[in-house]
A and B are shown apart, each in its own frame.
Chain A
Amino acid sequence: MQTTTRTPATTASTAASPDTSISHSAISARGLTRMYGEVTAVDGLDLAVHRGEIYGLLGPNGAGKSTTVKMLCTLLAPSGGQADVAGFDIATQQQDVRLRIGVALQDVALDPKQTGLELLRLQGQLYGLRKAEIEQRLVELRALVDIGDALDRRIETYSGGMRRRLDLAAALVHNPDVLFLDEPTTGLDPISRASVWQEVRRLNDELGMTILLTTQYLEEADELADRVGIVDHGHLVAEGTPAELKRSIGTDVVFARIDGKIAVAVAALRGVYGVVAVEGHEHELSISVEDGSSAIGPIAIALHDASVRVRDLTLRTPTLDDVFLEMTGAHFDPDATSPTTREDRS
């Protein structure tokens, strides 16, 4: 089995100006804008998604993720800016774009009166596949859909998870170069969600498929995406690998609760490998470290050597929520139409 060469990590960027010298990009956008009357849903978005990459577009409801996807897959016309998908302009070469993309939109779009097989066959026909090619793809996609004999049943009898998987299969019938997944796991149970994640990874690893994934789940972006773009109010506020983004906002922190004098503990930690700063308050220590997993051992040893009794030791690494808070001044709340601000939470 061959694996896809993942794009080397780029430096995390906190400005909305990613690399747009885009000859190697599967998706590129420059100043992409979409207005609904007076409302600006997408506001001058710049984006560069490399070939073979899983790119996560992360943001709360109303951030402009779905509107961006609909523009890139030719369902919506941009109000301004320009974008290419698979090397073709979304405004002037729409048919070429459509031949090369697969799309699973946020709301499952299926015809309940057809059977799963009929729907997939029709998809194949509309993409110009020959009969034998369609049958070949049906064999391949059966494993993905994983709903057994239900493929022969009408879709109206399917559960939500089965419909979601069939919708994904419909997006893949023609082996697209670029796959758009708009919140693919929203509403799925944990098992179905894990199954979709596994499939997304497989498509990327085995076929080298470029995948643009929008999500409002931080863990989903963290788990799947090679790079993440955080969208807020229609524009990109940060971009990078999940690790880069987390590192960009600060260090890991080790929290310790101790018995005994705090000053002794602080002194014991001075000079310990990886420790950047120590703050103490009553019986609690907050220890900033460069790499938490490497530093936690030496910290424990240093405190033990100083005869400081440690009641518990906790490592906390920054999360994408911390990144979101840092970039936007608000916490990430997927269910809110706008992020909750520091003031909201206080």
Chain B
Amino acid sequence: MSTATATFDSQPGTPVPVVRARPAGAVHDVVSIAGRALRAVPRDLEAILPPVFIAVFFFIVNIGTLENLTQNNIQGFDYTAFEMATAVLLGVTGVSRAQALVVDVQSGYFDRLLLTPVRRSAILVGHMVADVTVSSILCVPILALAFALGIDFQTGAVGVLMFIVIAALWSLAFAGFGYAIALKTGNPAAVNSSFLLFFPFLFLTSSYVPRDQLSGWLDTVAGWNPVTYLLQGLRSLALSGWHWDDLGRAFLAVLVVFLISFGLCFAALRARVKQR
């Protein structure tokens, strides 16, 4: 990589400014972009508070509605611990700065970023680093509520940490769809429509009752839905201890969605930064 210090010669007698641009490293680029994205989060709370509210709301309502029904029919079943994973996914799925990226595209600030030597991929990755951070933080109040409601986490503190990591990685994988739409269309309404993907992923699965209670077509669809395996892995951490096969399937499910969504969003990024 060439450096900026080898600038073309100045006119004789012209003072050479001391401060000169130079290529920053890839990590530096990502940290710079992520820092900006994180600074924007507290100024844009309306983007992240509703998902947490919805998650907490449905967590409480579903426990009130289904706790007795499930626990009376399934021996030794802890519905609160079971439903916690669904509540966390409701809270973190779709959390992303994709909407902010659309605003950047529309305001021209995205072009200002492109005029700098920043790596194009760092613009996207920086936003995603911020998303992972925010998703991890959003897990905390939901988990705190679950502990307040008396759940006993079978894998202890390390399991809680693993739970948060998996949830945040899922959030990142799903966010790829929002970024793909943002970069492809530059249209905020289209980014909002990515919310529609949320329904099949989170409701055509074992969100509210165990998988073996599903029947017919829903059971078949749930078998294809990666979120089924994600929920299974998360629940195993809370309900039954370290089950590496469940965790492995959960990571694999996240990876599959990640590969699809990131394939789409990096293709959209390439198209967006291509000198049209």
Contact = CB atoms under 8 A, between A and B. Distances in A.
Tell whether A pairs with B: yes
Interface of A: 2, 4-5, 26, 51-52, 73-77, 86-87, 95-96, 98-101, 103, 105, 107-114, 118, 122-123, 125-129, 133, 136-137, 154, 170, 174-177, 206-208
B107 interface: yes
B109 A207 contact: no
Interface in B1-47: 1-2, 4, 7-8, 10-11, 13-15, 17-24, 28-29, 32, 35-36, 39-40, 43-44
Given A126-B116, A127-B116, A128-B117, A112 B8 contact: no
Nearest to B22: A128
23 contacts: A2-B13, A2-B14, A5-B11, A51-B10, A73-B115, A74-B275, A76-B275, A77-B275, A77-B276, A96-B2, A100-B7, A100-B21, A103-B112, A109-B109, A109-B111, A111-B107, A114-B36, A126-B118, A127-B117, A136-B18, A137-B19, A170-B112, A177-B8
B107 A99 contact: no
A77 B15 CA distance: 33
B141 interface: no
B115 A174 contact: no
B159 to A, nearest CB: 37
A4 B107 contact: no
A129 B21 contact: yes
Contacts of B23: 95, 99, 128
A96 B118 CA distance: 12
B11 A52 contact: yes
B109 A126 contact: no
A118 B36 contact: yes
B67 interface: no
Contact of B36 (A76, A108, A122): A122
A275 B4 CA distance: 56
A292 to B, nearest CB: 34
B96 to A, nearest CB: 16
Contacts of B117: 95, 98-99, 126-128
Given A5-B11, A122-B35, 17 more contacts: A74-B275, A75-B114, A77-B276, A108-B108, A109-B107, A111-B109, A118-B39, A122-B36, A123-B116, A125-B24, A126-B32, A127-B116, A128-B117, A175-B17, A175-B19, A177-B7, A206-B15
User: For A109, A112, A133, A170, which residue has the most chain B Cβ atoms within 10 angstroms?
Assistant: A109
B14 A4 contact: yes
B4 A99 contact: yes
A74 B275 CA distance: 8
B112 to A, nearest CB: 4
Nearest to B117: A98
B111 A126 contact: no
Contacts of A118: 36, 39
Contact of B115 (A98, A111, A137): A98
Contacts of B15: 2, 206-208
A108 B107 CA distance: 8
Given A107-B108, A122-B36, A207 B8 contact: no
A126 B24 contact: yes
B122 to A, nearest CB: 9
Contacts of A96: 2
A225 B81 CA distance: 72
Interface in B73-94: none
A37 B36 CA distance: 37
Nearest to B17: A175
Contact of A110 (B39, B109, B276): B109
Contacts of A112: 107
Contact of A75 (B18, B35, B111): B111
B246 interface: no
Interface string B131-157: 000000000000000000000000000
B222 to A, nearest CB: 40
B259 interface: no
